Amino acid sequence: MDMNYEIPMLLILFLPIISFVFLSLAGRRISPSVAGLTGITVLSVVTVLSFFVAYNYFFVNGEVNGVYQKIAVFNEVWLKFSDVLSINLGVMLDPISVMMLIVISFISCMVHLYSWNYMHGEDRFQMYYAYLSLFTFSMLGLVVAVNIFQMYIFWELVGVSSFLLIGFYYTKPSAIAAAKKAFIVTRFADLGFLLGILLVSQNAGTLDFATMIERLANPHSPFAQSMLAGSFLGMSTLSWGLILIFIGGAGKSAMFPLHIWLPDAMEGPTPVSALIHAATMVVAGVFLVARLFPIFAVSAPDALHIVGYVGAITALFAAIIACTQTDIKRVLAYSTVSQIAFMMFSLGVSGWGEEASEGFTGSLFHLFTHAFFKAMLFMGAGAVIHAVHSNEMEDMGGLRKKLPITHLSFLIACLAIAGVPGFAGFFSKEVILSAAFHGDKLIYAIGLLTSGITAFYMFRLYFRIFWFKEASHGHGEHGHDNHESHTPMMNLALILLIIATLVVGYIPFGHFVSADGKAIELPFHLALAIPPVTVGLLGIAIAYMLFAKENDKPTKITNALGGFYKAAYNKFYIDEIYLFVTKKILFNLIGRPAAWVDRNIVDNIYNGSATLTAVTSESIKKMQSGRVQTYATYFLLGVIFVALLFLFAN
Partner 1 sequence: MEQVPLVHILILSSILFFLGVYGFFARRNMLMMLMSTELILNSVNINFIAFNKYLFPHQLEGMFFSMFIITVAAGEVSLAIAIIINLYRRFKTVDVEDTTTMKY
Partner 2 sequence: MNIETVVFYLLSGMILTFGVMTVTTRHIFRAAIYLLFALIGIAGIYLMMEMNFMAALQVVIYVGGIVVLIIFSIFLTHQVGEKVSLPKPRQVIQSALVAFAGLALVLAVLIPMGFEKSGAECDSSVKNIGMQLLDYKNFGYVLPFEVISVFLLAALIGSIVIAIKSNNSEENN
Contact positions vs partner 1 (CB under 8 A): 621, 624-629, 632-633, 636
User: For partner 2, which stretch binds (CB under 8 A), given 168-176, 534-542, 545-553, 639-647?
Assistant: 639-647
Min CB(604)–partner 2 separation in Å: 37
Q: 184 or 637, CB closer to partner 2?
A: 637
Q: Is 637 in the site for partner 2 (CB under 8 A)?
A: yes
CA distances in angstroms from 601 to 439, 593, 609, 614, listed in the order given: 58, 11, 12, 19
Q: Residue 646: helix, strand or coil by DSSP?
A: helix
Residue 633 interacting with partner 2 (CB under 8 A): yes
Shortest CB 587 distance to partner 2, Å: 60
- The residues in 568-607 that bind partner 2, with binding defined as CB under 8 A, are none
How far out from the chain centre does Cα 144 lie? 16
Q: Which stretch binds partner 2 (CB under 8 A): 76-84, 264-272, 377-385, 636-644?
A: 636-644
Q: Is 66 within 8 Å of 519 (Cβ atoms)?
A: yes
Q: Which does 644 bind (CB under 5 to 8 A by kind): partner 2, partner 1, none?
A: partner 2
By the rule CB under 8 A, 642 interacts with partner 2: no
Provide the residue type at 72 as one letter: A
Q: Which stretch binds partner 2 (CB under 8 A): 70-78, 117-125, 228-236, 637-645?
A: 637-645
Closest C-alpha among 356, 338, 350 to residue 425: 338
Subset of residues 381 to 440 that bind partner 2, contact rule: CB under 8 A: none
Considering the complex, state which of residue 527 and residue 647 has its C-beta at the smaller distance from partner 2.
647
> Can you tell me which of 171, 485, 629, 650 binds partner 2, judged by CB under 8 A?
629
Give the residue with the Cβ less far from partner 2, 580 or 635: 635
> 617 or 629: whose CB is closer to partner 2?
629
Nearest-approach distance from CB 621 to partner 1, in angstroms: 5
Residue 168's DSSP bridge partners are: none
**CB of 605 or CB of 615, closer to partner 1:** 615
Cα 600 to Cα 583, 595, 607: the distances in Å are: 22, 8, 10
Among 643, 645, 649, 650, binds partner 2 (CB under 8 A): 643
CA proximity to 41, closest of 158, 166, 132, 144: 132
Degrees to nearest 5, angle at CA 638 with 635 and 642: 145
Cβ neighbourhood burial of 150 (10 Å; 0-12, 13-18, 19+): buried
For residues 220 and 627, which CB has a smaller minimum distance to partner 1 in the complex? 627
Q: Specify which residues 64 forms β-bridges with.
A: 67
Closest CA to 152 of 204, 209, 96: 209
User: Interface with partner 2 includes 644 (CB under 8 A)?
Assistant: yes
Angstrom distance (rounded) from CA 297 to CA 65 = 23
Size of the site for partner 2 (CB under 8 A): 9
> In 477-520, which ranges are E strands?
none
Tell me the three-class secondary structure of 74-125, residue by residue. EEEEEEECCCCCEEEEEEEECHHHHHHHHHHHHHHHHHHHHHHHHCCCCCCH
Nearer to partner 2, 530 or 643 (CB): 643
Q: Can you tell me which of 640, 642, 645, 649 binds partner 2, judged by CB under 8 A?
A: 640
Written as one letter, the residue type at 137 is: F
Of these partners, partner 1, partner 2, none, which one is at the site of residue 626 (CB under 5 to 8 Å by kind)?
partner 1
The least distance separating partner 1 from the CB of residue 629, rounded to whole angstroms, comes to 5
> In terms of CB distance, is 555 or 629 closer to partner 2?
629
* Residues 398, 485: Cα–Cα separation, whole Å: 18
Closest CA to 237 of 303, 192, 306: 303
Which C-beta is closer to partner 1: that of 530 or that of 614? 614
- Which residues contribute to the site for partner 2 (CB under 8 A)? 629, 633, 636-637, 639-640, 643-644, 647
